[in-house]
A and B are shown apart, each in its own frame.
Chain A
Amino acid sequence: MITAERKPLEEIIEYIKPFKRILLLGCNECVTVCSAGGRKEVGLLASGLQMARLKSGTDIEIQQHTLERQCDPEYVEEIVSMIDGADAVLSMACGCGVQQLAMRYKEIPVFPAVNTKFMGASERQGVWAERCQGCGDCLLGITGGICPISRCAKQLMNGPCGGSTTGKCEISEDVDCAWQLIWDRLKALGLTERYLDIMPAKDWRSGGGSGPRKIIREDLAE
């Protein structure tokens, strides 16, 4: 899933400073799952903004709504009637959702209320960790199911660097060395000979190196 985190309240307040009627939009997908922008967070943010504005002595009216998914035009269409009553939109969805809104509703400013972080997996309740950088050319099949691109600080392709000690990365004791994990896993799978193959330099074009990417399914695309 895409993970996100609420922006500092101060930053959000600054964005919406000139506006009185705010449409605050949550998204019931990834940002709900990572507790950053679902119905609950929308409520919390609305309440916080209300208080902050009360304190500063400026009026604010907040309409709260949560869309099934902000990155799909049909769902975004749902709020067409609410837009009229708003001076600005504040979106708690990931960057995709914010842009989808901005594209559709050109006449009204749309602000992000969360920082979109990474594609990650939940490790346990309340903890999400980066697992994928969308390089467009998945290597997991040869690296024992552990991604050196998203999990090695240096994105090394051929074994660990000199900073790997006792299985941990030199950037922090809390970060596992991805190559240690890969080695342990290959060993468990009895595939250590793979480690001996030198991987050629990665072609980063598929990972956005040659500009914005698009997927077109010809059988589906209209």
Chain B
Amino acid sequence: MQNSKINQNQNNKVLVVGGGLGGIRTALDLAEAKKDVVLIDNDYTIGGLMTQLDRTFPTNNCDLCTIAPHLSESNREDHIELLTMTTVTNVTGEKGNFSVTLTSKPRYINLERCTACGDCLTHFPECVNFHPGLDHRAPTCMRYPQATPQAYSIDLEKCTDVQALVKICPARAINPDDMPIKRQIQCASIVLSPGASVFDPSHLDYLGYKNLPDVVTSLEYERILSASGPTGGKLICPSTGKQPKRVAWIQCIGSRGLQKEAGAYCSHACCMFALKEAIVTKERFQDDIETTIFYMDMRTFGKDYELYLNRAKNDYGVRFLRSRPHSILQPEGKTDLLLTYTKEDSTKQFEEEFDMVVLSTGFKTSEESRLLAQRVGIELNSDFFPITEEFNPVVTTKPGVYVAGTFEGPKDIPETMVQASAAACMAAADLPDIIDEPKELQEAPVERDVSLEEPKVGVFICDCGENIGGIVNVENLVAHAATLPYVAVAKAEGHGCSRTSMEDICQTIVEEGLNRVVIGGCSPRTHQEKFQDLLQKAGINRYLVDIANIRDQVTWVHSGKPKEAEAKAKELIAMSIASVVRAQPLTDHTLPMNKNVLVVGGGVTGMTASLKLAERGYQVYLAEKNDKLGGIANHLVKTLEGGDVQAYLSSMVEKVKSHKKIQVMTRALIVDHSGMPGMFTTGMQSGPQMFYKQIEHGITILATGAQSNRPDQYLLGKTPAVKTQLETQRYLFEHPDKVKQWENVVMIQCVGSRTPENPNCSRICCQNAIKNSLAILDLNPEARVFILYRDMRTYGFQEEYYQKARERGVIFVRYDLEKPPVVEEAGSQVDVTYYDTILGMDITVTADTLCLSTGMIADHDTNEELSRVFKLPRTEDGYFLEDHVKLRPVDMPVPGFFVAGTAHSPKLIRESVTQANAVAARAQTMLARDQISLGAATAKVDGKLCAACLICVRACPFNVPYINADGYSEIDPAKCHGCGMCVAECPAKAIQLMQFEDDRILAKVEQLFERITA
């Protein structure tokens, strides 16, 4: 009691600004860790930029499908207060005690009442707010069926007849007198994640974007491809309405300082974005369309992104031209777009016609977010992105204020997700420790045992305004349902999901002693959970409800045939009744949570994660296989931006060693592992004596790092003149006097990366080369530095250092994999011969030092062993494979496991630290719980029927079933994903998937045909 009193006096909230994917992730991570969040967005639904995309790289998944669950989760979560159409207008106070003024614009729609029926849109299409991409009004102003909140928003200025508009709403949700609201909130920390805008090329008349309809931005092209876009997914040229045959992409529009008002940075995501669009286009139209990408450097540096590039080239036949067409012209009287360009190895001009040209526009900060930065009081860099801490990019210049996503800097979705979680971790650390009152326990009434009762079904049918009632006669449906077996009550409910109806249903259940419920209404996808909660509130098991989808799948699609619609609605309701009478009470599987953490790997990543969790009071076991903490960072001197790695590292090691809650085990070797998420037991040998011990822990964090690659190439290890970049950096630091005597230095990029043996890009090498070449020139301005590269991948703000290197005279020469440089010993020096494409001849440079950018490779031995012990998947090149490359980049597919740092893929220290903070946040979402709920839709084996045939063992995509000591198959509900594949293949019919039991599915089938066979 005393605790909750203290809490009320403290600032125990986090304000998250921006409801895009990043903001949602931050809010969810905090909320799941039982921290209160206020999530605001200036738009009328959350979801941000991602909801406008058709598909995402590298999986080419449909976007809506992937993001939708996140959207509705954020609306459900008790700890999140969601405010749309809201902006920050003032901030006072400091870390731990901010006072923020928020202003909400009027929506003119009452969120409590709006059922998203769409009547306002049908009758007054122009008055409803809608603004994603290219064309307005299409195809539904809901933006997409999963919109959160599920409500429209009115643009009152466009409305000429307000009274008529108000009248059209059957739910009486439209309120023209809605006013802006100003409110004051107290919070301990603030996370800014408002996203970025996309560069607007309208002012660049030579690109013709403003005047030529077939010149579109990449986002607009995405909208054209999208099934929910203005053309319904039909790829057509805006000018002619015909399908284009030749599509070109031009990269770096608004990035790399190339055009007027362009950012000096690289926009990070556009190469992959263009690749995806080209691949999706080729996938859909194959040889009917030619796709050409005009680029400067293909920057596919992310995890497995290089493979994506190779696929585009080799499997899909996307054409790549390293060239920058200057302008886009349309010859008089023609619809074709004319591009003039030259090729890398010639000075000739080529002309080529295209039907459509896509401008790969980069990110740009918006006026609005600059204003936000100003109001919050954080400093921005010259590109108007926030200035952040050297080793921790989510920390701003103002204590207590954190940033994430594209607001922090250009980036793609996975990196946004990582930063969002990292920001959640930092923001949570500013909150006072709260002992959460278990609210649910107080609310949930005792569940009545209905297992022995005869089924007693209540059927509640919504008219949903005109949506259902306007097409079919709900009273007829009710009367029909009442005649069916086991139905005790059937009634019409108006808007079943409205507060009053929910109360009525709850009361009916209690009063009539119902033990099964059928709702005739909208989709179970969106509303099942809501009604399940209602059943729980009414004192019966939440799984005793079935929803007949008579709106989305009947009245909305058969409005032209009301008779058929009514017959079908009756059938669907009858099917639901037949199914629900067979439903049995189910319990969500729960486990007690062990709150200890095992961190494997004591590099910067592992130490950061350990510290973050130990500081929140969790016991951490940190296992390091070497006898010294620090990992690869022990060999680093400085970052590209000038950060002192050694100082950073040594203070971190000190903190880790002295922290009471961290137990460090060096020379540790993991040997066995058992248990389930929330209660693992891991055995390891550690110390000089290889002493064996077991650790009990609830979650596991893998931060095992990667290795610096040392391929046997270019005389590496054969002569002291050849060094890796890592060795070079140390050498510069230790022998500056010798560097001063160098005349020629050559660097070769992509040594041991992007080759058939190791196809991926090592990500860190380009900036490494730039860093070392600038350091050489600092020591010895007379030195001539050559960088032989394939694509310079200085993404994000690194681009500015690349430009600086060019200004300082570093000579950049491209080479192809087919024609690599040749290196020969020449006394204490080496001769490096490369082919110069412009001169068309071989050039030999005698170099004092040859630096090889050898990059990273996975620590195969360690990872292979750990993936075997922990049963975790790896990528083909040996890194650990996360659960979802896009949305869950640090979660492993096995619950309770997380991965961070270079064990995930090559990355820089800043990026590793960010991932470490992200896993700490993700881990806290689990650690905050006392029990782990595993849901109820899991497969269950009847041991008596099982023939131990192993078919389920082989069929399961997640390797969950096993034959137990009693000789029959067992499926661990904690690991089961609920897909039901084992059920479908079991030859003994010994497995059932809860909630989708065979008899329930068959009951639906039988009911549907009852009148036929009867």
A touches B in complex, CB < 8 A: yes
A41-B951 Cα distance, complex, nearest whole Å: 14
**A28 touching B947 in the complex, CB below 8 Å, given contacts A35-B987, A40-B987:** yes
A46-B954 Cα distance, complex, nearest whole Å: 27
- Nearest CB on A from B956, distance (A): 11
- Nearest CB on A from B151, distance (A): 47
A214-B266 Cα distance, complex, nearest whole Å: 81
A39-B950 Cα distance, complex, nearest whole Å: 16
Contact between chains at A35 and B947 (CB < 8 Å): no
Chain B residues near A3: list those with CB within 8 A.
none
A122-B949 Cα distance, complex, nearest whole Å: 10
User: B946-989 interface mask toward A, CB cutoff 8 Å, 1 = contact, 0 = none?
Assistant: 01011100110000000000000000000000000000001111
* B179 in contact (CB, < 8 A): no
Chain B residues near A43: list those with CB within 8 A.
989
Contacts A32-B947, A32-B949, A38-B949 aside, 13 further interface pairs with beta carbons under 8 A come to A28-B947, A29-B947, A33-B949, A33-B951, A35-B949, A38-B987, A38-B989, A39-B989, A40-B986, A40-B989, A66-B988, A124-B954, A125-B951
Chain B residues near A33: list those with CB within 8 A.
947, 949-951, 987
Chain B residues near A29: list those with CB within 8 A.
947
- The interface centre, meaning the residue of A43, A124, A125 with most chain B CB atoms within 10 A of its CB, is A125
Closest to A38 in B: B987
7 A–B pairs (Cβ distance < 8 Å), ordered by A: A28-B945, A28-B988, A32-B988, A33-B951, A38-B949, A39-B945, A122-B950
- The interface centre, meaning the residue of B949, B955, B990 with most chain A CB atoms within 10 A of its CB, is B949
| B contact residues, range | 10 to 19
User: A112-154 interface mask toward B, CB cutoff 8 Å, 1 = contact, 0 = none?
Assistant: 0000000000101100000000000000000000000000000
- Nearest CB on B from A51, distance (A): 12
Chain B residues near A124: list those with CB within 8 A.
954
- Nearest CB on B from A101, distance (A): 19
Chain A residues near B987: list those with CB within 8 A.
32-33, 35, 38-41
- Nearest CB on B from A121, distance (A): 12
**A40 touching B947 in the complex, CB below 8 Å, given contacts A124-B954, A125-B954, A125-B955:** no
Chain A residues near B955: list those with CB within 8 A.
125
A35-B955 Cα distance, complex, nearest whole Å: 13
User: A25-58 interface mask toward B, CB cutoff 8 Å, 1 = contact, 0 = none?
Assistant: 0001100110100111101000000000000000
A35-B987 Cα distance, complex, nearest whole Å: 5
Chain B residues near A38: list those with CB within 8 A.
947, 949, 987-989
Closest to B947 in A: A32
| A contact residues, range | 10 to 19
Closest to A66 in B: B988
8 Å CB contacts to A: which residues of B985-1003?
A: 986-990
A213-B1011 Cα distance, complex, nearest whole Å: 57
- The interface centre, meaning the residue of A32, A41, A122, A124 with most chain B CB atoms within 10 A of its CB, is A32
A33-B955 Cα distance, complex, nearest whole Å: 13
- Nearest CB on A from B242, distance (A): 47
- Nearest CB on B from A213, distance (A): 27
A124-B950 Cα distance, complex, nearest whole Å: 10
- Nearest CB on A from B477, distance (A): 32
A73-B830 Cα distance, complex, nearest whole Å: 86
- The interface centre, meaning the residue of B947, B949, B955, B987 with most chain A CB atoms within 10 A of its CB, is B987
- Nearest CB on B from A35, distance (A): 4
- The interface centre, meaning the residue of B945, B986, B988, B990 with most chain A CB atoms within 10 A of its CB, is B988
Closest to B945 in A: A39
Closest to A29 in B: B947
Chain A residues near B989: list those with CB within 8 A.
38-40, 43
A33-B951 Cα distance, complex, nearest whole Å: 8
A125-B950 Cα distance, complex, nearest whole Å: 9
Chain A residues near B986: list those with CB within 8 A.
40
Closest to A35 in B: B987
Closest to A28 in B: B947
A38-B987 Cα distance, complex, nearest whole Å: 6
- Nearest CB on A from B961, distance (A): 13
Chain B residues near A122: list those with CB within 8 A.
950
Closest to A124 in B: B954
- Nearest CB on A from B940, distance (A): 16
Chain A residues near B947: list those with CB within 8 A.
28-29, 32-33, 38
Chain A residues near B945: list those with CB within 8 A.
28, 39
- Nearest CB on B from A72, distance (A): 15
A43-B954 Cα distance, complex, nearest whole Å: 22
A74-B945 Cα distance, complex, nearest whole Å: 18
Closest to A122 in B: B950
A28-B988 Cα distance, complex, nearest whole Å: 7
- The interface centre, meaning the residue of B950, B955, B989 with most chain A CB atoms within 10 A of its CB, is B989
Chain B residues near A41: list those with CB within 8 A.
987
Chain A residues near B954: list those with CB within 8 A.
124-125
Chain A residues near B990: list those with CB within 8 A.
39
